[in-house]
Amino acid sequence: METLHRPLSLKFRQISFGLLFVACLLPFADAPVALLLGFIATQAFGHPFAQKNHKIAQWLLKTSVVGLGFGMNLSHALEAGKEGFVFTLASIVITLLGGLWLGKRLGVEIKSSFLITSGTAICGGSAIAALSPLVKANEKQISTALGVVFVLNSLALFIFPILGNLFEMTQHEFGIWSAIAIHDTSSVVGAAAKYGEEALQTATTIKLERALWIIPLSLITMLLNRNGAKIQFPYFIGLFIVAMVVSSYFTDYHSVYTHIIFASKKLLVLTMFLIGAGLNIDSIRSVGVKPFIQGVSLWFFISGLSLLALLVLR
């Protein structure tokens, strides 16, 4: 009986997980709801596809971001990128310096501190994944940094739209703020999509511009460590730019672009379900108190500073 029960149990978990995954395509499900649903699903009956979760989530995210490029106007994107450049550069420098100093004061292990700081400064898990082989980080150091960033990303998806409305931020202001203050591209796009269409366009453009800073930071890290590891270039950003150029110059296919954008937004919701499913209580507990304090303090600082700057510059 025991040997028969296990396959049935696994089959039930797979079907249940699949039904919830598909349910995220329904109109009621936006990015925060999908994230919460994925988290609850994993806590309730485990993740039957845990080993494939990260790879599928990353593929869906990149595909959805490229698809959203068909809804961007090139001139608007250039204007947003130009405006966001100063905010981006200033926030990256301040976050890197402040994060490393804070990590040292708290006594956080140096490689974990560097990965947490870099993930906060640039683009969360993507920065951590790109930089960890360059500093020869071990599995514990990588999982600690990813755990901190993952938890804060999940919180941001719920908190930022509420704060944006509380401070009566415009779509444009919220787009800049979310791109600067939220770690991962997925949560930036998810929060901005919930706030509004203009916020989504501004946030996506600035966030992808921000993600390109992985390259110079990786080069500096590689030169300092000299271990021969390869730099990972975010190629999907190039495809996003191509999609944006196509939609801006070939305007006769607007109806096609509309369908692509709709599908891309649905893919983003599915991505958030998988990200929520990848978050579990054990991974949160394994982070440790000091790295978590570093990550939260740094996040509060850069979120508050960028929000204050935007409100002052109104």
pLDDT in tens, 149-205: 888 988 999 999 999 999 999 999 999 999 999 988 889 999 999 999 999 989 998
Residues in the chain, pLDDT under 50:
1-6, 8
Q: Kindly list the domain boundaries of the chain, sorted by start residue.
A: 32-39+52-312
Model pLDDT, residue 2: 41
Model pLDDT, residue 226: 66
The Cα 121–Cα 102 span in angstroms is: 14
The Cα 73–Cα 217 span in angstroms is: 29
Model pLDDT, residue 120: 92
The Cα 78–Cα 67 span in angstroms is: 18
Cβ proximity of 283 and 150 under 8 Å: yes
Tell me what the pLDDT averaged over the chain comes to. 86
The Cα 66–Cα 52 span in angstroms is: 22
Amino acid at position 103, single letter:
G
Burial call 66-84: b when 16+ CB within 10 Å, e when fewer = bbbbbbbebeebeebbeeb
The Cα 22–Cα 156 span in angstroms is: 24
Cβ proximity of 127 and 214 under 8 Å: yes
- What predicted TM-score, i.e. pTM, was given to this entire model? 0.81
pLDDT tens-digit series, residues 64-77: 888 988 988 777 77
CA 107 vs. chain centroid, Å, equals 27
